[in-house]
Amino acid sequence: MNIWAQHRCNPLFYMQKIQRACVDNPAYRYAWTFDHSINGGAFYRMVNEVDACSLQYSIIKKNPWIKYEASDLEFIGYPLKNYY
């Protein structure tokens, strides 16, 4: 799957893919974690849900299942350095 840079930072892109899978396979429920790193910085967990099929996304207000504040984010680790 080719993922453009603007999609890698957007949880909505992945939530829509998961929810399509929920519709295609209604007997399943999908857990979802979304770890995010900006400009080679540390990875932080922005989403940690046990049932992604039940999530609702709002474009006009903050979504309670997305962690926005730095104090709420769980540190995951650092990315590997690029090398030649």
pLDDT value of residue 29: 85
Q: Quick one: which of 55, 63, 13, 43 has its CA closest to 4?
A: 13
Q: Say which residue the tokens 């997305």 belong to.
A: 66
Q: Rg of the Cα trace of the chain?
A: 14
Angle of CA points 53, 49, 64, to nearest 5°: 95
pLDDT tens track for 5-62: 555 677 888 888 999 999 999 888 899 999 888 777 889 999 999 999 999 988 899 9
